[in-house]
C-alpha cells in the first residue's frame, strides 16, 4: 500500500495478468494500450454483447450519432488520424468535410471491436477475454484475487475497474409503477415496444439519453406525443456545422463566479462553442484548484448549464429534435414530479412547473427514465463495488460522483490510503478528473495509465 495520493510509477511485477473489469470504451482502450506495452491482461465483461462497445456504442440504431466529430474520435492520442484512416477518409480533397462528420455510434462500436480483436490476434499470449460477472475481490500480498460469479478465482497483479456508466437511479416517486408503465432502463430491448399510435410517452430527463429516446421513437415511426420533463428543462445545445478553430489560450486565473463571468464575456466575443472549447485543456487543473465547497457550488449551480454546452448534439440530431418540437410531437418542460399512480393502462402524474406554485396533471402511457447514469456507488447496486466497499478497499469520492482515486487513478481505501494494485479509469473517476466521460478525455487517461502501470513512461524522459 502507498500512502496518501503521491504520484509515481505503479510497481507491477511478476507473470500474473492485469485484470480489467468492464469492456466498454475505457476498459477496451486500456487493454489495448497495456498489451501494446507487453503486459498480460484478462478483460472481464458480464455482457457479451457489449464487448468493446459498452452501452454507448452498443446501440444498433444508425440514427444515434456520435456527439464528437470523426476527426477527434481516434482511439489513440498519439495517432489522431487513426479513426479517419479506418473510415477511409483521411486523404483526398474531401478530407475536411468527411473529418467533420458525426458518424453513427454503431460504426464506432465496430471500430473499437476491431481494435480489440487486432490486439488479440497480434498478441494472443498476452490477452484473455473472459465473459462473466466479477462479484468480489480480495487483496493479497502480491496482487488481487478476483472472484467470478461462477466460482472461478482469477489471480491478478492488479485490478482496474472500468465499469463505465451505471443505469439511472430509480426515483422514489416512480418506484411503485409496474414495468408495463415504467422502463427504468431506456436501453432495454422492450422499452419502446407496445406503444399505440396515440400514446403519450414521458421522458424523465432532457439530456443526451432523452434525446436518444426521442430520436429512437421517431425512427420507429411513433406518431404519438413525447414530453421530456426535467428540473430545468434544458436540452443539449448543438455543434456548429463546422468546428470552431480553437487556438490555445493560457489557463484562466479566475475562480468560481469570476471564472463564470470570464467565460460569459468570452462567449460574447467569439462563438460560445469556441469559448467553452478553449477551457477544455484546462478543466482538470481548474477543477482541482477549487476547494471542496467551491466544487460543490459548481456542481449545484453550474453543472447543468456546463453539461448542455459541453456535451453537444450532432447537427442532424439537433435539427430533427427541433423539427419534432415544431410539429408539436416533442414538448420539453421544466418541473418536478410530485406524485404518480397507476390508473388502468396509464400513469397519472401530478407535477409542478419550475418557478410556479400551481400543480398540473398529466396522463402518460409509458415512462422512460432518462435522468442520466447513477454515480453514487452506494446506490448503483454493482456487486463488485458493494463487496469492495464492504471490505474497506474503496470509497466514494467526496461529491459522490464515483470512486475516490488519487491523481494516478489509484483507488483510495476507507482509511485514505491509495493502493498501487487497485485502480479505476473512465467515468468512475470523474470526482478526481472531472472530464472523464468523453472519448477525447478517456483515451488520454488510459494511455497515461497503461504507461504508468508498465513503467514505460519513465524510459527516455528520465534518462533510463
Does the residue 11 lie in any domain? Answer: no
Q: Are 189 and 49 in contact (CB under 8 A)?
A: no
Q: Same domain for 56 and 29? A: yes
**pLDDT beyond 70 at 53:** yes
Arithmetic mean of pLDDT, 399-415: 95
Q: Which of 351, 369, 387 is the last residue of a domain?
A: 369
DSSP, collapsed to helix, strand or coil, labels residue 347 as: strand
Q: Same domain for 201 and 187? A: yes
pLDDT on residue 457: 56
DSSP, collapsed to helix, strand or coil, labels residue 362 as: strand
Q: Same domain for 359 and 410? A: no
Cell numbers given for 379: 446506490
Q: Same domain for 295 and 404? A: no
Q: Same domain for 184 and 230? A: yes
Structural domain range at position 42: 18-64+104-166+374-458
Higher pLDDT, 54 or 183: 183
Q: Same domain for 181 and 278? A: no
Q: Which of 369, 389, 411 is the last residue of a domain?
A: 369
CATH number at residue 142: 3.50.50.60
Q: Same domain for 148 and 182? A: no
For the chain, the domain total comes to 3
Cell numbers given for 275: 469559448
Does the residue 183 lie in any domain? Answer: yes
Arithmetic mean of pLDDT, 397-415: 95
pLDDT tens-place string over residues 278-319: 998 898 899 999 999 999 999 998 899 999 999 999 999 999
Q: How far is CA 397 from CA 197, 406, 426, in A?
A: 45, 10, 14
Q: Same domain for 363 and 391? A: no
Arithmetic mean of pLDDT, 96-111: 87
Q: Are 29 and 446 in contact (CB under 8 A)?
A: yes
pLDDT on residue 248: 87
Q: Same domain for 188 and 324? A: yes
Does the residue 242 lie in any domain? Answer: no
Does the residue 96 lie in any domain? Answer: no
Higher pLDDT, 316 or 57: 316
Report H helices in 77-144. 82-87, 95-99, 105-122
Q: Same domain for 338 and 224? A: yes
pLDDT tens-place string over residues 167-213: 888 899 999 999 999 999 998 888 999 998 889 999 999 999 999 99
> Which candidate, 402, 447, 458, places its Cα nearest to that of 31?
447
Does the residue 79 lie in any domain? Answer: no
Question: Highest mean pLDDT range out of 37-41, 238-242, 243-247?
Answer: 37-41
Does the residue 388 lie in any domain? Answer: yes
pLDDT on residue 94: 64
Q: Same domain for 291 and 199? A: no
Those residues with Cβ within 8 angstroms of residue 139's Cβ, 6 or more apart along the chain or in another chain: 391, 393, 419, 421, 422
DSSP, collapsed to helix, strand or coil, labels residue 234 as: coil
Does the residue 267 lie in any domain? Answer: yes
Arithmetic mean of pLDDT, 355-363: 95
Q: Which of 269, 289, 306 is the last residue of a domain?
A: 306
Does the residue 12 lie in any domain? Answer: no
pLDDT on residue 244: 66
Q: Same domain for 150 and 24? A: yes
Amino acid at each position: 500500500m502507498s500512502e496518501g495520493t503521491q504520484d509515481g510509477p505503479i510497481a507491477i511485477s511478476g507473470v500474473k495478468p492485469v485484470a480489467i473489469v468492464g469492456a466498454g470504451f475505457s476498459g477496451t482502450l486500456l487493454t489495448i494500450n497495456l498489451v501494446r506495452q507487453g503486459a498480460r491482461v484478462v478483460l472481464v465483461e458480464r455482457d457479451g454483447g457489449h464487448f468493446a462497445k459498452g452501452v454507448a456504442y452498443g446501440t444498433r440504431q444508425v440514427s444515434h450519432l456520435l456527439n464528437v466529430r470523426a476527426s477527434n474520435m481516434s482511439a489513440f492520442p498519439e495517432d489522431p488520424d487513426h479513426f479517419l484512416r479506418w473510415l477511409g477518409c483521411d486523404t483526398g480533397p474531401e478530407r475536411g468535410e468527411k473529418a467533420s462528420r458525426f458518424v453513427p455510434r454503431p460504426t464506432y462500436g465496430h471500430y473499437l471491436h476491431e481494435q480489440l480483436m487486432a490486439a488479440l490476434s497480434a498478441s494472443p499470449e498476452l490477452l484473455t477475454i473472459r465473459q462473466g460477472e466479477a462479484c468480489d475481490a480480495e487483496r493479497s500480498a502480491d496482487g488481487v484475487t478476483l472472484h467470478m460469479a461462477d466460482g472461478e478465482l482469477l489471480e491478478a497483479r492488479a485490478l482496474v475497474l472500468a465499469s463505465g456508466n451505471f443505469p439511472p437511479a430509480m426515483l422514489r416517486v416512480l418506484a411503485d409503477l409496474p414495468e408495463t408503465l415504467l422502463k427504468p432502463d431506456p436501453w432495454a430491448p422492450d422499452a419502446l415496444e407496445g406503444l399505440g399510435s396515440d400514446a403519450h410517452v414521458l421522458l424523465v430527463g432532457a439530456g443526451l439519453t432523452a434525446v436518444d429516446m426521442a430520436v429512437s421513437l421517431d425512427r420507429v415511426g411513433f406518431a404519438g406525443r413525447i414530453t421530456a420533463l426535467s428540473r430545468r428543462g434544458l436540452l443539449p445545445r448543438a455543434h456548429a456545422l463546422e468546428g470552431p478553430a480553437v487556438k490555445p489560450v493560457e489557463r484562466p486565473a479566475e475562480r468560481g463566479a469570476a471564472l463564470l463571468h470570464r467565460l460569459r464575456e468570452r462567449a460574447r466575443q467569439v462563438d460560445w462553442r469556441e469559448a467553452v472549447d478553449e477551457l477544455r485543456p484546462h478543466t482538470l487543473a481548474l477543477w482541482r484548484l477549487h476547494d471542496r465547497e467551491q466544487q460543490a457550488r459548481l456542481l449545484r449551480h453550474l453543472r447543468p448549464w456546463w453539461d448542455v454546452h459541453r456535451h453537444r448534439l450532432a447537427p442532424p440530431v439537433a435539427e430533427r429534435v427541433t423539427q419534432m418540437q415544431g410539429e408539436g410531437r416533442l414538448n420539453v418542460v421544466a418541473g418536478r414530479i410530485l406524485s404518480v399512480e397507476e390508473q388502468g393502462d396509464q400513469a397519472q402524474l401530478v407535477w409542478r412547473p419550475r418557478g410556479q406554485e400551481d400543480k398540473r396533471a398529466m396522463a402518460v402511457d409509458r415512462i422512460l427514465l432518462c435522468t442520466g447514469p447513477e454515480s453514487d456507488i452506494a446506490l448503483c447496486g454493482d456487486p463488485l463495488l458493494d463487496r469492495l466497499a464492504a471490505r474497506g478497499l474503496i470509497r466514494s469520492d467526496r461529491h459522490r460522483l464515483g470512486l475516490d482515486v488519487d491523481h494516478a487513478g489509484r483507488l483510495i481505501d476507507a482509511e485514505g490510503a491509495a493502493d498501487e494494485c487497485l485502480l479505476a479509469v473512465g467515468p468512475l473517476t470523474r470526482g478526481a478528473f472531472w472530464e472523464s466521460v468523453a472519448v477525447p478525455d478517456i483515451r488520454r487517461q488510459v494511455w497515461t495509465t497503461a504507461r504508468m502501470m508498465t513503467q514505460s513512461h519513465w524510459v527516455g524522459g528520465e534518462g533510463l
